[in-house]
């Protein structure tokens, strides 16, 4: 098309020149044959160019009556680890689209934490557009900013995105604001978890630094996990695609996120099965946190594991008569059964372990603290 435009422009210049030259040569009695050839050629180019380029009237129009400037091309929608690939043109990236859609979200208007791990945002309706609600599988993880902080992560979660192998180690990742610190009154005693923005059970991402932030145990288990389980349920039980996006919220140059915005909508039924838009607070009841650095203060850790729940104000768990297995070796290694779907771990003797589907069961040997460090939750029935 570009070549044709150049030819058309040349013809528009040559045509009047040839016309004038022909008139002059006629008066002087010269050979007008060459002028007629240029004149005829120019007219032919102009006519053909006009037809092809649609100069009259106003450019090529598509079936909707909108002008186009040629083919935009195809954008490859499979986006992983912050990379995009486009062919023939530039459409807005997932990151840009997210920024545009979330411009209506104002964290400064959120209510302060008042005892609930999450609060509805935008009437519990995600900021997605109709253009987003497709069944094409994709994952996107924003590049980290200059401070090393994660950005938006989103995916069209489906059966194909879910993990097919055992969960790996993530201890090598140290997100911004990370501190290994324990306090009394927290389940497992560790204040912080490496929180997946998009949960492992949904996309199988392990040590992806673009998908891990420093989050309190309370936010991870009481805030985010219930919503992740809802998404997993919609996918595994109904074979739906669920558009799912999680955006960490950092105030100023804080290294620790104040919380995360979580959005989800089932595609096939336009949100009938699942639709939510919530903000989860990155807090830990009873603990004071400096979000600029991740430093904290609270009840001194006395050295004994706590089973009082995820938050300092959580109710005490009821301990069952399920016998604890003996350590398998001298370093205290114990065998546990992990439900990779719910994120809970059990003693092999626990009755709940018998109910785990084979595809969600993982037998694991190691310490309790390491499982908790990986983001798993102890079963409330056998209390491992």
In this structure, of 231-240, 247-256, 353-362, the range with the lowest mean pLDDT score is 353-362
Rounded distance, CA 127 to CA 145, Å?
23
Which pLDDT does position 47 carry in this prediction? 56
Contact 4, 53 (CB under 8 A): yes
β partners of residue 244: 155, 264
The pLDDT value recorded for residue 55 is 39
Which range has the top average pLDDT, 12-21, 75-84, 143-152? 143-152
Q: Tokens 């999680």 map to which residue? A: 246
362 pLDDT more than 70: yes
The DSSP secondary-structure symbol of 224 reads I
101 Cα distance to chain centroid: 13
Is residue 361 very low, low, confident or very high in pLDDT (cuts 50, 70, 90)? Answer: confident
Highest CATH level, class, for 76-84+92-313: alpha beta
Considering 27-31, 40-44, 56-60, 137-141, the range whose residues carry the highest mean pLDDT is 137-141
Give the C-alpha separation, 36 to 42, whole Å.
10
Instruction: State what percent of residues in the chain have pLDDT above 90.
Output: 48
Check for a shared fold between 76-84+92-313 and 317-384.
no
Does residue 101 surpass a pLDDT of 70? yes
Mean model confidence pLDDT for the chain: 76
b/e sequence 206-238, b meaning 16+ C-beta within 10 Å:
bebbbbbbbbbbbbbbbbbbebbbbbbebbbee
Query: What average pLDDT does range 280-305 have in this prediction?
Result: 91
pLDDT for residue 353 = 84
What is the model's pLDDT at position 18?
A: 54
Q: What is the mean pLDDT of residues 243-250?
A: 97
Residue 310 near residue 222, CB atoms below 8 Å: yes
Neighbours of 36 (CB within 10 A): 12
pLDDT band at 381 (very low <50, low <70, confident <90, very high): confident
- Does the N-terminal peptide bond of residue 57 adopt cis geometry, omega within 30 degrees of 0? yes
- Segments making up each domain of the chain, as ranges: 2-53, 76-84+92-313, 317-384
The pLDDT, as a whole number, for residue 181 is 95
**Is 317-384 in CATH node 3.20.20.70?**
no
pLDDT score recorded for residue 78:
22
Which residue from 250, 240, 242 is spatially nearest to 215, judged by alpha carbons? Answer: 250
End-to-end Cα separation, the chain, in angstroms: 70
Per-residue pLDDT, 10 = 57
Q: Which residue has the higher pLDDT, 104 or 28?
A: 104
Which of these ranges, 117-121, 248-252, 363-367, has the smallest mean pLDDT?
Answer: 363-367
Residue 157's closest CA among 115, 119, 105, 199?
A: 199
Tell me what the mean pLDDT of segment 9-22 comes to.
Answer: 55
Q: Output the pLDDT for position 54.
A: 44
């Amino acid at each position: 098309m570009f070549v044709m435009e150049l030819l058309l422009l040349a013809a528009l210049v040559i045509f009047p020149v040839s016309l004038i030259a022909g008139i002059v040569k006629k008066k002087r009695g010269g050979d007008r044959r060459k002028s007629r050839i240029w004149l005829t050629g120019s007219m032919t180019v102009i006519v053909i160019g006009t037809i092809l380029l649609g100069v009259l009237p106003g450019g090529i129009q598509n079936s909707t009556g909108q002008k186009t400037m040629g083919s935009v091309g195809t954008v490859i929608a499979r986006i992983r680890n912050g990379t995009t690939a486009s062919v023939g043109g530039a459409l807005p990236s997932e990151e840009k689209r997210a920024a545009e859609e979330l411009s209506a979200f104002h964290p400064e208007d959120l209510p302060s934490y008042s005892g609930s791990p999450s609060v509805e945002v935008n009437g519990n309706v995600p900021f997605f557009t109709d253009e987003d609600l497709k069944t094409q599988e994709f994952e996107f993880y924003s590049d980290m900013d200059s401070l090393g902080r994660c950005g938006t992560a989103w995916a069209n979660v489906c059966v194909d995105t879910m993990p097919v192998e055992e969960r790996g180690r993530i201890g090598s990742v140290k997100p911004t604001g990370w501190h290994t610190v324990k306090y009394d009154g927290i389940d497992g005693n560790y204040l912080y978890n490496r929180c997946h923005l998009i949960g492992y059970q949904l996309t199988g991402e392990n040590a992806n630094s673009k998908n891990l932030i420093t989050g309190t145990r309370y936010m991870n288990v009481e805030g985010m996990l219930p919503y992740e389980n809802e998404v997993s349920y919609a996918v595994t039980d109904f074979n739906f695609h669920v558009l799912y996006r999680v955006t960490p919220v950092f105030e100023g140059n804080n290294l620790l996120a104040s919380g995360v915005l979580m959005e989800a909508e089932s595609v096939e039924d336009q949100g009938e099965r699942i639709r939510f838009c919530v903000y989860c607070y990155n807090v830990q009841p009873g603990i004071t946190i400096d979000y600029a650095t991740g430093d904290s203060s609270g009840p001194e850790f006395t050295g004994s594991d706590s089973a009082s729940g995820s938050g300092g104000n959580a109710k005490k768990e009821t301990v069952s008569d399920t016998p604890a297995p003996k350590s398998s070796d001298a370093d205290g290694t114990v065998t546990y059964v992990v439900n990779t779907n719910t994120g809970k771990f059990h003693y092999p003797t626990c009755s709940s372990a018998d109910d785990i589907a084979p595809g969600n069961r993982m037998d694991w040997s190691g310490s309790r603290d390491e499982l908790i460090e990986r983001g798993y939750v102890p079963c409330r029935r056998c209390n491992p």
